[in-house]
Amino acid sequence: MRRRRLTHAVLSALLLLAGWGVAGTLPATAADTGPAAAVPAEPRQPASDGLVTAMRRDLGLTREQAEARIAAERTAATLAPKARRTAGGAYAGSWFDAASGRLTVALTPDVAPAARRAIEASGAAVRTAAHSARLLDTVKGRLDRLSAPSGVSGWHVDPRVNTVVVDVVRNDRSDNDVRRFLSRAREAGPVTVRTVPAAPRTLAAGTVGGDPYYTGNVRCSIGFSVYGGFVTAGHCGRPGAGVNGWDGSYVGTFQGSSFPGDDYAWVSVGSGWWTVPVVLGWGTVPDQLVRGSAVAPVGSSVCRSGSTSHWHCGTVLATNETVNYSQGAVYQLTKTSVCAEPGDSGGSFLTGDQAQGVTSGGWGNCSSGGETWFQPVNEILSRYGLTLHTYTG
């Protein structure tokens, strides 16, 4: 659904967030290196009607269930980094369990009794796991140094199964290069192999109508406002590339960009364009606000907005995943069950009122479903020394 030109004229700055709402009572900056730093202060605002509507549609929830889940995920996002610090070397990962509405923390058997009691007293569920997060991160790092064939779509640490999960495209499972990679991966440490329907692809698109930004003949979606510009996907443009807005007017210039390896960029704006901590709802939901950038644990709900497929929701499936695109591997992406389509690249991901990241790529579409990855926003802010433009009302 295309927005009316009146909306563009009055809220053109919203195009600098052609994905999600960007707002928060506390700005997130390059100094906010951990999730706890981005957690906004109380009192918290109620969930917006638009966010609840999208979660009801895509996650099959009632209004009451959606609101309860948002509140529980806020608590889990605050608790997760504290639990990690408390557990120390015995930490084996954590995730949000939608069925119980609680954070689950995995701990190795050598955890200090006092640390275990403290985590249990905080309200988190505790599970015993054989391998520490530190060990699994080391195993994943070994895989990151391998050259992966195209039939291997990615790999990540999954705290719920306590192994490194390697995704292999179904039709390539018997490929000799894939078999050799899996053999070397298993030598690196505890690994589980998962079959996926298709390989991921980036989600830029040729020039078509809609409400995007354009660089050359590529259309992408704008992510979150930062002071002086906006952040988006790195594969959408290289440093120095000019950017035009929905109406063809000049918006600004790519100041920094990285892809592959990373998939992030930022664009400075000028020429009458400005940034605001709001993102468009595309007529599907009301425009959204964001009040910070606290990292949502695995299992949390997450919603996405982009210039092609607009609003869709799902859950966080994995963090710190290496994705093997045809252009090269990209590290430290977050995987979700949200669908996306070409042209959605760079658009925004949000959990509750917290910014999560910008759309990188995926497989599938919004008719048949699929999976989509995003580049975490806090990493982009830290890399370029940017400050997220947040809502202070």
Domains and CATH numbers, the chain: 1-77+130-393 (2.40.10.120)
Bridge partners, residue 193, by sequence: 166
Cα–chain center distance at 273: 26
Residues 6 or more apart whose Cβ sits within 8 Å of residue 193: 165, 166, 168, 182
Quick check: 327 and 233 in contact, CB under 8 A? no
Put residue 74 in one of left, alpha, beta given phi > 0 → left and psi -120 to 50 → alpha.
alpha
Q: Residue 350's Cα: distance from chain center in Å?
A: 8
**In 10 A of CB 106, how many CB atoms?**
25
Whole-angstrom distance, CA of residue 154 vs CA of residue 204: 20
- Exposure string of 181-195, with b = 16+ CB inside 10 Å and e = fewer, is bbeebeebbebebee
Supply the pLDDT for residue 202: 79
Could you give the residue numbers annotated as active site? 235, 263, 345
Comparing CA positions, the residue from 104, 169, 109, 162 lying closest to residue 133 is: 162
Residue 298 gets which letter from DSSP?
Answer: B
| 303 phi, psi to nearest 5 deg | -125, 155
Alpha helices, DSSP H, located in the chain: 5-10, 49-59, 63-87, 113-121, 133-144, 176-188, 377-384
Rounded Cα gap, residues 11 and 6, in angstroms:
8
b/e per residue 235-258 (b: at least 16 CB within 10 A) = bbbeeeeebbbbeeeebbbbebbb
Q: Beta partners for 333?
A: 321
Other C-beta atoms lying within 10 Å of the C-beta of residue 59: 17
Pick from 333, 358, 368, 317: nearest CA to 98: 317
One digit per residue, the tens of pLDDT, for the chain of length 393 reads 334 333 333 333 323 222 222 222 222 322 233 333 333 434 455 667 778 888 898 999 999 999 999 999 999 999 999 999 999 999 999 999 999 999 999 999 999 999 999 999 999 999 999 999 999 999 999 999 999 999 999 999 999 999 999 999 999 999 999 999 999 999 999 999 999 999 888 765 433 233 579 998 899 998 988 888 999 999 999 999 999 887 788 889 999 999 999 999 999 988 677 777 776 767 677 677 778 899 999 999 998 889 999 989 999 999 999 999 999 999 999 999 999 999 999 999 988 888 999 999 999 999 999 999 999 999 999 999 999 988 876
Task: Yes or no: say if 331 and 312 are a contact pair by the CB < 8 Å rule.
Answer: no
Lookup: tokens for 373 = 């990855």
**pLDDT at position 113, please?**
97
Place of tokens 């960029």: 265
Contact 97, 105 (CB under 8 A): no
* Contact status, residue 374 vs residue 349, Cβ threshold 8 Å: yes
What pLDDT score was predicted for residue 25?
26
Token pair for 374? 């995003």
Contacts of 268 (CB under 8 A, 6+ apart): 228, 229, 252, 253, 255
**Which among 279, 283, 284, 298 has a CA at the least distance from the CA of 353?**
279
